[in-house]
Amino acid sequence: MRKLILLITLVMINIITACAPNTDAPAQAVENYLNALVNKESDKLPTLVCGEWEEDALIELDSFQAVTASLENVACSQTGTDGDTSLVLCTGNIVASYNDEDQRLDLSVRTYQVVQQGADWLVCGTR
């Protein structure tokens, strides 16, 4: 009998866990966006942002075309919500190198706005 109760409990935990919303998804969306920026993935970037912010995202991507960019110690987490918008704050830097000179862009100075459209979480601006 104990084995049956244990089995039922484990199955219920798995069901509840599977149905719980993924609170890491907005943070992962921002990390995917940042990776696309530094890797200059212009074809991938529009799939990571909402339509209203696509032009701004492509302008931001253009600013990295003349430099070698990388992410340094990046970690993002959802810090709250504003209506249907998730707010994501990141720590770490984008390191932009030009002529052997590094410039660190502190990611903690911007809060990313992330929205869910269908099953996708998309970056849709900053604050």
- Report whether pLDDT(72) > 80: yes
pLDDT at 23: 62
Question: How far, in Å, CA of 37 to CA of 45, rounded?
Answer: 7
Report the Cα 10 to chain-centroid distance in Å.
Answer: 31
User: Which tens digits make up the pLDDT trace of 88-126?
Assistant: 999 999 999 999 999 999 999 999 999 999 999 999 999
Domain ranges across the chain: 23-126
pLDDT at 52: 97
Assign 62 a pLDDT band (cuts: 50, 70, 90). Answer: very high
Assign 87 a pLDDT band (cuts: 50, 70, 90). Answer: very high
Whether domain 23-126 has CATH 3.10.450.50: the reply is yes
- Report whether pLDDT(3) > 80: no
User: Which tens digits make up the pLDDT trace of 19-47?
Assistant: 444 569 999 999 999 999 999 999 999 99
pLDDT at 20: 44
pLDDT at 1: 57
How many other β-carbons are positioned within 10 Å of the β-carbon of residue 81? Answer: 11
